[in-house]
Structure 1
Amino acid sequence: MFAPEKQMTRLVIEREVNIQGHIRWVAHPEHKKNRLLIIEHQKKLYALPLYCQHAHVSLLEAKMDDNGKVICPKHGLTTDLKTNPEVFTVERQGDFFVTNTLPLIETKTVETCEEDLDHQTELDVLKTVNSALQKKVLSNLESMDSMLSEVEHKKVELEANNQHLLSVNQLIDSITNTMEEFLVVTDNQGRITRVNRYAESILNVKAKELIGSSPDNFLRDETLTEIIERFPAKNWDQRPYLYRAVYSNDGFEQEIRFRDPTGRHKDVSQKYFLLKGTLIYGSAGKEEGLILSATDISVVKAKEKQKRQADIEKHLQLLQSTLSTISQGVAMFSGIGDLQTFNESFTTNINVDSDILAQIPGYEVLFSNNQEILDPQQIPPCQKLISDKYQWVQTFKDGRIIECESAPTPTGGFVVTTRDITQSRKNEEHIRLLSTTVEQSSSEVVITDTEGTIVYVNPMFTENTGYSAEEAIGKKSNIVQSGEMPAEFYKELWSTIKASNRWKGEILNRKKSGEKFWQSMSVTPILDNNGDISHYLSLKADITKQKRAEKRLRYQAEHDLLTNLPNRSVLLHQLEDSIVDARENHKASAVLFMDLDNFKDVNDTLGHLSGDILLKLVARRLQLCTKSTDLVARLGGDEFAIVQNDITCLDDPKHLAQQIISSITRPFKVDDHLLHIGISIGITLLPSDGLDTGILLQNADMAMYEAKGVSGSHYHFFDLELQKSIQYKRTIETHLHHAIEYDELSLLFQPKIDIQTGLVVGAEALLRWQSKELGNISPAEFIPIAERSGLIIKLGSWVLDNTLKHIAAWSQSNITVPKIAVNLSTIQLLDANLILDIETALSTHQVPAHKLELEITETAAMSDPELSQVQLEAIKNTGVSIALDDFGTGYSSLSYLASLPVDRIKIDRSFVNDIQFSSQSKAIIESIIHLGNIMGKIVIAEGVEEKEQLCLLQDLGCHEVQGYYISKPITADQFIHFLNNKK
């Protein structure tokens, strides 16, 4: 606690901010403008300047470590809350902070003379004061002359110093440019300030291209990655990685090769350099920057590499010259089985490339544990080969057969020789297997001469085509042609095989019975001993079932299974084709994005089976509205889209949209029901609205939602105004999120009066928003946005809380206030927490329930009749009254209306506006009043703006009215004044 005898200074709180879960305050001393930041650390409150004195950057969101040091976000310097002389402690007292540490501004007062002094004494005092002032002015003038003289001397000194610095810089440039060493200098932020000529030549750039850039730019990616890993930087340090490395290690040294820092992919030096980095400090010990120097070490590196290479090559040449004279494969192993050397024949026999073989550990991996060898367990183990000779045959999974022989070596190891006997074994089996394989093959085998005459067919040919071998041999191979393959197909086939190349593809052939079937076919030329083509071998397989399955799968992948319309993927491909057409052939197209109106009601009332039948009927009608060149697709749910190609003017998509609306709005017969639905259509054009599939679909979707906003089936074209409107609505939503936090909301109250007595019987609380950024926003604009975004719950709670706060304040002032009404949206009415929120708010503000009325629209009550009924009855049980707003514009039944626990019925202003001119409106109002009297409800008319309207409503027996004729929405103070005048 502060000592009570010291004078306390109050700090006025400007705002309170939550920074990463911790509260901070911006404040200023009373009667002063200097702004302070107040931070809590270890249960104490500290005040420090809001702006860093070095960088003049706000410290409001600056990080603070566990020791109470605030880190500047710009340059990383810290302010210690416990030791910094500019920091002092404060305490919270109510809405202020107080301190006795902040120096107070001393003020001097001129003591007034005693009233009983005579005029002469007053004159003497004035003369004395005047004389003192004259002396002070003369003294100040002399001081100013002295200061001006000193400034002139300093100016001369500075000019001399500048000239000296220029000479020094020129001297430094001359020295560094004569050095045959790479040299770069940076400032203390890591920006390059000086580059010598040698560095320019190495990097192949001019110094002016590097000045101000980062030295990281001339490091190769692998070097930069290694530096980042070795020297991780703190979050506040935004200097180049190379600078951080030097700073972290108090120096730096590494072998590197440079890259082009400008990114122009020019060739730069491929030499190796030893790069060194050293920090530069000024005379006062302040860090001034960094010196990077690099020395060419390419010659040393090259010599080391040449020596190592020469030793290796000499050893290998000696060993290989010995082994290369042996025709068999030879591999030498140590006593423990390590592979020491081998020849080329060995690599060929075991089918392992020499480069790979050099990396294999030894015998066990090559033989005993080789997964490519069949039965490797039959191969003798390494331990036996050291002492005895062995012979064995090993078969590889790829079919090769290798004969092996081993013998011990005098050095305690062993040598293995190999010989490939695969071909000899194959030759033995070849003749026996050939005929059996071909005859029993599941593939159709046909051999023809070079003219295409059949000389051999196997049994599978007869099974596939129905032609016997006797019927086929001697005939041309085209006896099975279907006649449906294009001439180019056979031309390409023959040109391929005549060039001694294999041909492979799919072909549609015809059986002897006339049935067509698909085959996969490969044709391979057979060469004689001279390398000339003697025959052609054709292998075929029946793939008819596979083709049918592929066709079925492709159809399923590209179509909606319910409506059989193309799906979204096909639509996207069509859009891509239309975009190409627009670019290359200047053809225009339109995209129509459609959503069914009231389709959910069909599913909810008749079930999803009826909904599916309805979607099929809609799809059929859409197809009947379009041309063969158009594409109709179902995107999912009740969303459809059409790509209308080759349009000539705006009337084409317009007429199509009108035709679709006319078709869809006709009733559909589903089972025994006649269903009426609507459709909303958004239209975008290409190329005028875009040449990107995503943008086009987004544009059409935005236009569709604009059309859906109009009651009934409509279409709407996408345009820039629509895009601006949507962007504006998004801007409103963004700012609306902070409206409560920024204290931008307010309440107005529109009085309600008894039509007979003229007394105020209540008022309606109306929400208003004055945005600091956007200005005044109409409720008609922001309320629908709040409902769509879910913000209406938060706004509704604010309105209820502040309305009850006003009622409580008026009651404490002994003002008798009538019932105040608050509007509830559909979303609020269906909120499960609504009743609890109402009861909590009433209890918090100690307001009786009968002082509050909640207004709901007829449409809101009908959005979910069962839940609405439950919610309204629960509200009624709290003692809060209920008014049904906009009555007569909805579609509720009288039986449902009678069951609702409402106290008031509000006649919609649309009927009141026409009461003088429309007998129909007058009759509707009279019916509503009569209905209200029957059900015991109070009837109130809203929107009364003229005296004649008031008189007619009075004649019809209306109970209460509100509107501009009575009073426009007014502030809380104005409402109390209005209330007092009406008593």
Structure 2
Amino acid sequence: MYTSSYHVPISNLITRPIVACAPDTSVRDVVRRILFESCSSIVVMDDVTAVGIWTEKDALFAGEDPRVLDLPISTAMSAPLLTLDAQTSLGEAAVRFKQSGVRHFGVVSDGACIGVITQTDVVVNQGAEFFLRLKSLASIHLNPPVVVPEHLTLHDAIAGMRRQKIDAIIVEYADGDLGILTERDVVWLIANDSLGGTVGEHASRPLQALAGTQSLYAAQRFMLQEHIRHLGVRDREGNLTGLLSFADILQNIEEEYVSELQSALIERDEALARARFSLRMADLVFDSALEGIMVTDRSGKIERVNQAFTRLTGYAEEEVIGRSPGLLNSGHQGPEFYKEMWRSLVTDGHWQGEIWNRRKSGELYLEYLTITSIHDVEGKISHYAGIFSDITQRRQNEERLRYLATHDVLTGLANRALFEERLERAIVHASQRKRQVAVMYLDLDRFKLINDTLGHNAGDEVLKVVAARLRENLRDSDTVARLGGDEFAFVVEEFSDVRDVGRLAKALLNSVGQPINLDGHDIFTTPSIGISVYPDDGTEAGQLMALADQAMYGAKSHGRNAFHFFESKMTSSAMAQLDLLGEVHRALEQNEYCLFYQPRYDLSSGRIVGVEALLRWRHPQRGLLSPDAFMSVVEQSALIVPLSRWVLREACRQARDWLDAGLEFGRISVNVSARLCNTEGFLTGLTTILSETALPADRLQLEILEGMTMNSRDEIRALLRELAARGVSVTIDDFGTGYSSLAYLKDLPVHTLKIDRLFLSGANPQSPDRAIIRAIVAMGRALELCVVMIGVETADQLAFLQEAGCHQGQGNLLATPASAEEMTELLPYPCDAIVAQADH
């Protein structure tokens, strides 16, 4: 009979050794391990004890918040691991999967976890082909698929999957085609550091689908052959009506199994009439369970508990027999809670949920409890069985992760996301009650000096002290947040007069300005505060934040250590900044940015030895703009990172085109911002760009500002060494204007020094600037560095540089910045000005 496979023990389905990891393994390493092992889960083992499990479903949380990737798996796993005994039948396992709602069970033999069984294992091995052939796809209930547009960001798509508790979403493309993104895809994306972009870029396409007239058996076979776990279902017109998963097949199998189980129970009752059930085996099962078990009579008096009950509660069996389960009562749940519990037991025969109880020691713990009514042969309730597990640690881990998502780790203050949420809420309340809300921005004056002189650890201690002082001066109803760096913000509600806000600002100035003692040294830092008020200055959260920020800069311009209310005369300047910020973001989306190129020449031969990529903006109304017109806004916004990546990729692509055309240009030079270099995954992204554009690493030269190379943090120097190891050349830009240190310079793997143009512009034969240029050239030669002078504008300047022994030059005298097409025409020829000077 086709249903015989229901009685196969699940231990027979384990075909591979258990895939496990230690609790301190990082989430990132676990993701990579799952991808390497081609499995859907990994068991977390503490020595020989299985303490939890991490599955593809958990990847949605890591995909939504990448910060989770560097946490230990013990903080992100599902715990405890739900288990089934190795002798559990396949049919009973199908029912347990349906009841629990999970997709993985640990398989336990003699108290040890020997493997993992999944929904897929049950579907593949259940053997209900006859039953599955009788049901068409159209006859079963499927929830409508969740469909998202292709341009939705991957982050929002993953957040939506996690929020809606679904394991797959359908992606609709502009051409009408459909794709699918599953939990398994998210695992792959995390393991490959590819969480950016849109969902359309990462979805599997096209979506595999069958007509609704096909049978469940045909769907099962197709999914196994194609190695997929989701299948679209279309109606007669070809419209997508549902998304079938293994869980849906399992649910239909479970219905068949329940029917068979009823027959098996009748047979078991007849067998029990002939022989008594083995009490010894029942005792072994009862006492070996990892979950605490408590059996009461119909009136609620405890008759029996297992060893796990004693381990979890601290009460021995003889201490609880005959007593009420109320001895565990924590007092956290009121009478209504227990009244509802008993109502469910009477009407439904069971209750399931979370409950706070108290151990014998007095310690509170959170347990997940299932209570089931047990009936006698006459159908009357004779006993109740409660099975519970301690989920305190899991709840604490979940709360910790929620806290980290909304708070600053260093200071414990709200972060930007929580600040914006509370500001939006405050505006809604103020609008309803006709009240005012104040937004305050606080920035510490010259905080960078503390980091540069005392180190970042000292800077962190200062920030923590400042955060504590801010909390002391604000009410519980107000919100104080750290937005990043040394920048703080406040939402102040429930004040009757705006002068109260001014008095609060004065108190903050006085409190924050007090000396901070670190290791016996008094550190002084003063704040500058900007204030905007709803609804006088604006009605939108983003607008109020921008205006408070603008007012804060006004406080700095008035001498620092002051507060400044936003004034209407600042509106035009602030709005212009906001408008420009919107335009620069739109420009990247509309592909309005482009690159011009300026060659760098050998000053002795006149040949081209390098080309610098220069950013330009083809503004729809204002024409071609140089960076001076917009980069100050870009550098203060998050756009600096994606725009810098675009420049780097476009420059590498153009350089590859020149190589393919047989044109020699030396190296392509690209200015990179410190913010791009400090982003996680910068080196990985650079490798990807070089790989995708097929540009050899030794053809790329990155230009970084002198101040960045002098940074005292070892991370910057390590980055430069890694770039050099990969063959990428490094140039120090605007050399001579920062706080240069020869001790740093000789240890840094740099190839080129570019002298700042200020030393050459306006220089005359007697100018001290020319002596500085000669000194830098001599130093460069001594350190075997190439020295480049930029801003070469006149023949006199060129002659001086050649006489001083400068290696290379760049400037409008030699060649002006040109488009890629114009640059292509210049590449084969030497510089006329240099050649003429040499002939002269």
Pairwise TM-score range, normalised by the shorter structure: 0.3 to 0.5
Higher relative contact order (CA 8 A, sep 6+): 2
Bigger radius of gyration, 1 or 2?
A: 1
* TM-score (structure 1 length as normaliser): 0.35
Whichever structure has more helix as a proportion of its residues is 2
